[in-house]
Every structure is written in structure tokens, then in C-alpha cells.
Amino acid sequence: MYYVIQVRTGKEQKTIDAIKRQIGNRPGFDVFAPYRKVIKKFKGVEKEVIVRCFPGYLFVETDKPYDFFVELYWTPEFTKMLGREGHTENFLPLNEDEARMIDILYSNDSGRTTEISDIEVHEGEIVRVLDGPLEGLLGSIVKVNLHKKVVVVEFSMCGRMVTAQLGINIITNKIRK
């Protein structure tokens, strides 16, 4: 099960390192901050860069949330695990759909980094995903920005709707000029 940890923005990697030092090599705990690859223009040249998806949040995959919480308590950078207010033993895991979305977009095989999806654009700006992690998620895509080469995907996380920007690569552009 996945749980969400709120940390200080900009201190995500430092917090991950501190948690891993505290926990050691114990099995059953995986802490990560998801990233995404995007294409950015620098002085007219397009380059692929990696950026953080959810600044200020980490994810932990564990079946023992209370044990994990106890370990986090001794980690100086730790802020809090998301759950019901005032109930330390009632942490809220991501539900099945949310966990599936995390697995699709930020799989461990890819180093928890979402690859760039290849898309095809037709007249009337109909977008078809040809390849990549966005394949089959058309219902979740809420915005396409062809200029910045990103799409906004909306999904539920911890009971509220969140958005994530993901990189795209335009394979064919058939929009009428």
C-alpha cells in the first residue's frame, strides 16, 4: 500500500536520505519522490530534463504504516504522514485506483520517473497517445499544452483531486494552419 508523507518543499531528497539512514536495509519499506521527464527549451535548443512531480510530498510503499511512522518520528526532516487528524494509527493509504495510477505513471522499473509519451495531434486538436505511460489514460487528461509539450493528468489522491503535468513528444502535427 502507498502512503503519503508531507515534507518541507525542496528538502525531499534530504528527507529520503534521512529516512533510509534511519530504517536501514529493512525489507517492506520503499520511500520515493516521483519525477517526470519533460522537454524544455534553452536558448532555442530543446533538451530533456527531469523535474519533481509533487513538491513537498513523498510516497512510501509499506504494509506496516504504524511501524514506519514510529521510525519517521526519530527522523529530523520528517513532517507528517497524511491521515485522519489526531489519529496516529489511522493513516490513510491511497485507494486501489490511486495506487494503480502511481504504478502506471511512476513505476519502480523506470526509477519512479515518468517517461515522455508520444502523441499524435489531428485537426480539431484531437490527441491520440501512441506510446508511453499515458497510453490508455485519455479520460484522465484534462489539458494539453502543445507549446510547452506537457499534458495535465487529473486523478484522485487521498480523497481529493490532484493534477500532474507530464511530458509529451509530438510525433505528427496535422492541425490545419
pTM (two decimals): 0.72
- Tell me, what CATH number does 19's domain have? 3.30.70.940
Q: Which three cell numbers stand for residue 108?
A: 519502480
Distance in angstroms (rounded) separating the CA atoms of residues 156 and 112? 19
Percent of the chain with pLDDT over 90: 1
Distance in angstroms (rounded) separating the CA atoms of residues 111 and 71? 24
Note down the domain range covering 91.
2-173
pLDDT digits (tens, 9 = 90+) for 44-77: 888 889 988 888 888 888 888 777 777 777 777 7
Question: Long-range contacts: 104-113, Cβ < 8 Å, 24+?
Answer: 104/133, 104/137, 105/34, 105/133, 105/153, 105/164, 105/166, 106/32, 106/34, 106/35, 106/53, 106/59, 107/133, 108/30, 111/35, 112/32, 112/33, 112/34, 112/35, 113/34, 113/35, 113/36, 113/37, 113/50
Question: In the chain, where does DSSP find H-type helix?
Answer: 12-23, 65-73, 96-105
Question: Is residue 177 scored above 80 in pLDDT?
Answer: no
Domain count, the chain: 1
Beta-strand ranges (E) seen in the chain are 2-6, 30-32, 35-42, 45-52, 57-61, 80-81, 113-114, 117-122, 126-131, 141-145, 150-157, 160-173
Q: Which residues have a Cβ under 8 Å from the Cβ of 32 and sit 6 or more positions away? A: 16, 58, 59, 60, 61, 106, 112
- pLDDT, mean of residues 21-38: 83
Question: Is residue 27 scored above 80 in pLDDT?
Answer: no
Mean pLDDT of the chain: 78
